[in-house]
Amino acid sequence: MEQITKKAYAKINLVLDVTGRLPNGYHEVSMVMQNVGIHDTLTFTKREDEQIVLTTNDGQLPLGEDNLIYKAVLLLRELTGNKDGVTIHLEKRIPVAAGMAGGSTDAAATLLGVNELLGLGLQKEQLQEESVRIGADVPYCVLGKTAHAQGIGEKLTEVASPPQAYLVVAKPDINVSTPVVYRALDSLPSYPHPDVEGMIHALEQKDLNALCERLGNVLELVTAKEYPVIGQIEDILLKEGARAALMSGSGPSVFGIFDTKEQAQTACKALEKAALAKQLFVTTFENGEG
Ligand code: ATP
């Protein structure tokens, strides 16, 4: 096979708790990660030479070693010694720097896609293990199934996937710095912790009510305080019938959970009218391949 195409799905956090801090400055987390239907598409093509050539429809992204896709190919080269060239085209749809693991999911798709294209023979489990060297969210993206993530995000336990629902995802036009968000959280004397175990139980029960009651993200405390637009988007989502709304990751993306597609579409229109978001999506939980 000379060419392979893979979808790279975005994630949201159904719960995100920060449970400690390691001596190296990394934060220990406990979070439930869930793919959603918003995806990038990556096309991998064999080359005659040894070059790694990256192209994309997104004019802003770096195309060299700063791109996580490039880092993923370098990791495969290190693991196998194989230096066959590859051209990778990225069709970007996932909002960038949004708390939706856009770069990490592209890296995961590259590990899986190039492994397959070049017949490198690496097992998915090994790719998952090694991929933390690219970023803390990459192992989850390699797994591609609902998971409880601990450690810095790399210790994964599969959990039950959520029942069907419709989502509105809104990315406001602001840039949030993840290190600044974590520093602001560190400066708080204490904060309420979300019920991660309760969320896992709600998933096992396929109980959408309980799931919505347990949505929580400690980082929202600090990001939403700094950027009122996050609360404003959530207010509109709730007013339009969302069962619950929450910020994903360190933000600024916000999602709302709806029973029907019609409700989600109506809420999306209301947000469009309010002009609070730069990018808007109606989607669902994605429980298939990663
Ligand atoms: P996370 O949820 O894991 O914190 P994020 O959604 O906040 O991730 P990304 O979209 O992964 O953030 O992008 C963060 C930065 O990484 C961007 O500023 C971008 O320049 C860089 N980056 C490198 N490679 C990629 C890629 N393939 N896609 C998106 N961003 C990339």
pLDDT digits (tens, 9 = 90+) for 228-285: 999 999 999 999 999 999 999 999 999 999 999 999 999 999 999 999 999 999 999 9
Q: Are 146 and 22 in contact (CB under 8 A)?
A: no
Half-sphere exposure of 79 (CA within 13 A, CB side): 20
149 ligand 1 Cβ < 6 A: no
Q: Say if ligand 1 is within 6 A of residue 103 CB.
A: yes
Q: How many CB atoms lie within 10 A of CB 74?
A: 13
Ligand 1 close to Cβ of residue 88 (< 6 A): no
101 Cα to the center of ligand 1, angstroms: 7
Q: State the pLDDT confidence band at 290, using cuts at 50, 70 and 90.
A: very low
Q: Whose CA is nearest to atom 17 of ligand 1?
A: 97
Which residue, by CA, sits nearest to atom 9 of ligand 1? Answer: 97
Q: Atom 27 of ligand 1 has which residue's CA nearest to it?
A: 103
Q: Whose C-alpha lies nearest to ligand 1, atom 16?
A: 103
How do residues 86-116 score in pLDDT, each as one tens digit? 999 999 999 999 999 999 999 999 999 999 9
User: Which of 241, 239, 246, 235 is closest to 264 using CA atoms?
Assistant: 241
CA 172-173-177 angle, to 5 degrees, is 90
What pLDDT shows up at residue 1? Answer: 72
Give the Cα-Cα-Cα angle 220, 256, 234 (nearest 5 degrees). Answer: 55
Distance from the CA of 135 to the center of ligand 1, in angstroms? 10
CA-based nearest residue to 16, from 114, 123, 99:
99
Ligand 1 centroid from CA 105, angstroms: 9
Determine how β-strand 216-217 pairs with β-strand 3-21. Answer: parallel
Q: Is 67 in the pocket of ligand 1 (CB under 6 A)?
A: yes
Q: Listing from the earlier edge strand, what are the strands of the sheet with 244-247? A: 244-247, 254-258, 166-171, 279-284
What pTM, to 2 d.p., does this model score? 0.96
Q: What is the pLDDT of residues 185-243, one digit of tens each?
A: 999 999 999 999 999 999 999 999 999 999 999 999 999 999 999 999 999 999 999 99
DSSP per-residue codes, 33-56: EEEEEEEEEEEEEE-SSS-EEEEE
* Pairing between β-strand 216-217 and β-strand 244-247 as defined by DSSP bridges: unpaired
